[in-house]
Chains A and B, each alone.
Chain A
Amino acid sequence: MPFFTPKEAKERTIATIGYPGHGKSTFLAGLFWDSFFALSRSFRDGGQPYSVRALNEEASKLFYGNAKILHGGALPTANPRNKPEPAILEFKGIPRANRQRRRSIRLIFYDVAGEVFNDDRLTSEYAPYVTTAHDLIFLFDPTHPDFNALSAAELVDLVYRIARGGRKKNIIITLTKMDELRNRDDWWAGIINDLWPDETPSHLELPRYLEQMDSLATMLRNWWTDPARQAHNLVNALPDNTRFCALSSLGHPPIQVDGSLRLTRDPEPFRVRDPLFWIFRAAGVM
């Protein structure tokens, strides 16, 4: 059986962008974990079942490697500053809302150290793929001491400068570590708590899930422009079709054991699939 059928397969390049410690590597690990363990189970109701496959060695090292690390109760290690190799995943059996036909797509990921987004030169040198990427996923940890509207907008502007002149982008602004934020005492935490725990949709539930993504995106746009964040300028400068997400890659916060972060149980990602589904939708396969 061939690994993929070139005639049918679509291919998109994904750039995950974020400052050090804001959850880029853990997001990619959680995304793979969710597809491998949860979506492959739920998207089995008729038609070709859903599956994800590492199409090259780098993908195997990155995605299976990190999944094994998570399985062992540890977290993906800090990325050294490196020019990352493309890690290609093939997704098959992607369902479409209200349709029987299943589609396939290949996504090319790059897992890069966060400090390369410290300045233009480093970004150009170590993350040149932002120019050619179809989808830019910005990841922000709102619990991080460095997080605020200025630092977020500064990062978006930096990538805009580097990627300007490249192809049109599908931009996804993502808040990470919702497991920590949901315990806060405000209306926003209540919304997250209402959606908690995560429920993996089946094919039949997909239309409702996609509607939920739409309304969550609208709410998150408002979260950014809330007086507490004052990110109007950031949101105004983004394209109208920018998508907003909120997720937890692990589902629960790791704890410190002898100076290292450890998981107390297997990951239970929360809405980590939302950026992936936005990409599927932008590609026209979902």
Chain B
Amino acid sequence: MPIIKALQHLFSSVERGYDPRRKGGFQTVGVTEELTGTEDLRALEDAAFYALSRERRAARDFPVKQTIFRLPSGRFALGRTVDWGTDSSGREGNYLTYHLVFSRDDLLTAGADPFAILEAARLGEKMAEGSFDMSPRALPPLAVEIAPSGIDFHGFEGIKPELLANLTAAAVDGGEKTVLLIGDETLAEGVLRGVYASMATEERLRLTFATHFYESHHLRSFFTLATVRSREEVPSRRENYLIFDLGDGEFPRISPASAYAGWLADCLHSRRWEEIGVLNAFLDGVRNGRGEAGKDALPIGTKACAALWERAGEKVVQALLGDVGLTVEFLRKLSSSRPLADALLAAASPAKLCGPNATSDAAQACLAALRSAASGKAWREWVKKWRDDLALGSFATDTQTWWQRWKRRNE
């Protein structure tokens, strides 16, 4: 189980905070020294915002706000904010925010699942302790041991497949508008967990969110996705948001901008959960050098091939080497297969490309597909370079025109 390092940040309304020059009020209470005086700390303080409607406060309905967002340094902050009763002057409306700050690499090592990391760090338990230490102080870095989390799509139960497909496409591609999810917080968190589960690790880093966004329009730049409980909590500037309503099922139609989003939306629409798991595991494997997990079970539909090529490019080329069947499928399925064909030719010899176990027919089919897809120049140079390669020899002989064979004999 990976252990990753987290810098800590605590924010609340206190009489005296970490900076002795500041008067009472909302401020940093505790922080790891590495963060002091940085732009990251300013961003953490800005994002540590929690407001509640008068009705919810009167009903003592205090949601927990969970967040993940990118900091100016490129690090990521995961946060949990809870109502914290009264401030030092006895006024209600105090809250406590606990942030953990991770490097991008550590977050990737941990699988970039913010819910799993927040649970592993036990922030909820720590903040629920009645004797939580609110004295101003420097906080040491925290070691967080991450348990492997399974892929859990339970949060999608009861949600329209069309809504999920469009929501995920919007979340994956991002864009100028913030995705706004309206629904009961538990339901919305389940959906959000499902969205994370449906994404490969690196793709998860693009998705930042806040699970309680009431009165938080000014924090829009921090989050690609935000949730509010009801339409009454939707920011007034609605034109800045893509609104998905889990209650009445209303959602905008999104045209996926990337091949990955298109494939994922298609899978979610037709509930192909297994395919999602296999392709993402393969992507994660080839990206982090842990091998080509699940290569044999890889989906080879048009959208899946396009998604893999778009997201893993060169890594896909390496994975295809020696697997003529898969290579042919990719070359056939990609709408624009020339870049892949050229990359394959540039990466390997005919023998390596076809592998030791390929039958003659399969090798011929693979080379034919390559020749058909590759640019003329790349193919000619490749053939010239590997003309003595046995795997190429028979194919070249079979496919040479009479004048090519005549020319070669006389060379």
Asked whether B24 lies within 8 Å of A259 as measured between CB atoms, the reply is no
Asked whether A82 lies within 8 Å of B90 as measured between CB atoms, the reply is no
Q: B92 touches which one: A65, A68, A260 (CB < 8 A)?
A: A260
Contact A81-B91, Cβ < 8 Å, known A57-B236, A69-B54, A259-B86: no
* Residues in A whose Cβ lies below 8 Å from that of B58: 72
Asked whether B27 lies within 8 Å of A115 as measured between CB atoms, the reply is yes
* Residues in B whose Cβ lies below 8 Å from that of A83: 218
A267 in contact (CB, < 8 A):
no
Docked complex: A16-70 residues within 8 A CB-CB of B: 19-21, 57, 61, 65, 68-69
Q: A80 touches which one: B23, B50, B88, B89 (CB < 8 A)?
A: B50
User: Interface residues, chain A, CB within 8 Å of chain B?
Assistant: 19-21, 57, 61, 65, 68-69, 72, 74-83, 113-115, 118, 146, 151, 254, 256, 259-261
* Residues in A whose Cβ lies below 8 Å from that of B46: 81
Give Cα A61–Cα B92 distance, bound, in whole angstroms: 17
Docked complex: B18-41 residues within 8 A CB-CB of A: 21-27
In the complex, what's the smallest C-beta–C-beta distance from B312 to chain A, in angstroms? Answer: 41
Give Cα A74–Cα B57 distance, bound, in whole angstroms: 11
25 contacts between A and B (CB under 8 A): A19-B25, A20-B13, A20-B25, A21-B25, A21-B87, A21-B88, A21-B89, A61-B54, A72-B58, A74-B92, A77-B92, A78-B26, A78-B91, A78-B93, A79-B93, A81-B49, A82-B215, A113-B26, A115-B25, A146-B24, A254-B90, A256-B90, A259-B85, A260-B85, A261-B91
Q: B87 touches which one: A57, A65, A72, A78 (CB < 8 A)?
A: A78
Asked whether A115 lies within 8 Å of B92 as measured between CB atoms, the reply is no
Docked complex: B295-318 residues within 8 A CB-CB of A: none
In the complex, what's the smallest C-beta–C-beta distance from B28 to chain A, in angstroms? Answer: 11
Q: A114 touches which one: B25, B57, B93, B236 (CB < 8 A)?
A: B25
Contact A260-B86, Cβ < 8 Å, known A57-B236, A80-B51: yes
Give Cα A193–Cα B26 distance, bound, in whole angstroms: 35
Asked whether A80 lies within 8 Å of B93 as measured between CB atoms, the reply is yes
B98 in contact (CB, < 8 A):
no
* Residues in A whose Cβ lies below 8 Å from that of B95: 80
* Residues in A whose Cβ lies below 8 Å from that of B189: none
Contact A78-B92, Cβ < 8 Å, known A65-B54, A69-B54, A259-B85: yes
- Chain B: residues with Cβ within 8 Å of the partner, total of 31
Asked whether B90 lies within 8 Å of A260 as measured between CB atoms, the reply is yes
Give Cα A115–Cα B85 distance, bound, in whole angstroms: 18
B45 in contact (CB, < 8 A):
yes
Give Cα A118–Cα B85 distance, bound, in whole angstroms: 23
B227 in contact (CB, < 8 A):
no
Give Cα A65–Cα B55 distance, bound, in whole angstroms: 10
* Residues in B whose Cβ lies below 8 Å from that of A146: 23-24
* Residues in B whose Cβ lies below 8 Å from that of A65: 54
Across chains A and B, which 10 residue pairs bring their CB atoms closest together, nearest first? A77-B93, A20-B25, A115-B25, A78-B93, A261-B90, A21-B89, A78-B91, A83-B218, A77-B92, A78-B87
* Residues in A whose Cβ lies below 8 Å from that of B24: 19-21, 115, 146
Docked complex: B73-112 residues within 8 A CB-CB of A: 85-95
Give Cα A254–Cα B24 distance, bound, in whole angstroms: 20
Asked whether A20 lies within 8 Å of B49 as measured between CB atoms, the reply is no
Asked whether A76 lies within 8 Å of B91 as measured between CB atoms, the reply is yes
Give Cα A75–Cα B49 distance, bound, in whole angstroms: 20
Give Cα A124–Cα B21 distance, bound, in whole angstroms: 18
* Residues in A whose Cβ lies below 8 Å from that of B93: 77-80
Give Cα A22–Cα B92 distance, bound, in whole angstroms: 15
* Residues in A whose Cβ lies below 8 Å from that of B54: 61, 65, 68-69
* Residues in A whose Cβ lies below 8 Å from that of B94: 78
Which residue of B has the minimal Cβ distance to A141?
B89
* Residues in A whose Cβ lies below 8 Å from that of B50: 80
Docked complex: B218-238 residues within 8 A CB-CB of A: 218, 236
In the complex, what's the smallest C-beta–C-beta distance from B87 to chain A, in angstroms? Answer: 5
Asked whether A19 lies within 8 Å of B218 as measured between CB atoms, the reply is no
Asked whether A77 lies within 8 Å of B91 as measured between CB atoms, the reply is yes
Contact A81-B89, Cβ < 8 Å, known A20-B24, A21-B25, A68-B54: no
* Residues in A whose Cβ lies below 8 Å from that of B57: 77
In the complex, what's the smallest C-beta–C-beta distance from B219 to chain A, in angstroms? Answer: 9
Produce 1/0 per residue, B189-208, CB < 8 A to A. 00000000000000000000
In the complex, what's the smallest C-beta–C-beta distance from A52 to chain B, in angstroms? Answer: 20
Which residue of B has the minimal Cβ distance to A56?
B236
* Residues in A whose Cβ lies below 8 Å from that of B90: 75, 254, 256, 259-261
Q: Which of A72, A77, A151 gathers most chain B CB within 10 Å?
A: A77
Q: Which of B58, B86, B215 gathers most chain A CB within 10 Å?
A: B86
Give Cα A75–Cα B46 distance, bound, in whole angstroms: 25
In the complex, what's the smallest C-beta–C-beta distance from B237 to chain A, in angstroms? Answer: 10
Give Cα A146–Cα B89 distance, bound, in whole angstroms: 12
Q: Which of B21, B87, B91, B95 gathers most chain A CB within 10 Å?
A: B91
* Residues in B whose Cβ lies below 8 Å from that of A75: 90-92
Give Cα A81–Cα B25 distance, bound, in whole angstroms: 9
Q: Which of B23, B89, B93 gathers most chain A CB within 10 Å?
A: B23
Give Cα A76–Cα B87 distance, bound, in whole angstroms: 12
Asked whether A118 lies within 8 Å of B218 as measured between CB atoms, the reply is no
Give Cα A269–Cα B350 distance, bound, in whole angstroms: 90
Give Cα A261–Cα B13 distance, bound, in whole angstroms: 16
Give Cα A256–Cα B88 distance, bound, in whole angstroms: 12
In the complex, what's the smallest C-beta–C-beta distance from A187 to chain B, in angstroms? Answer: 28
Asked whether A20 lies within 8 Å of B92 as measured between CB atoms, the reply is no
* Residues in B whose Cβ lies below 8 Å from that of A113: 25-26
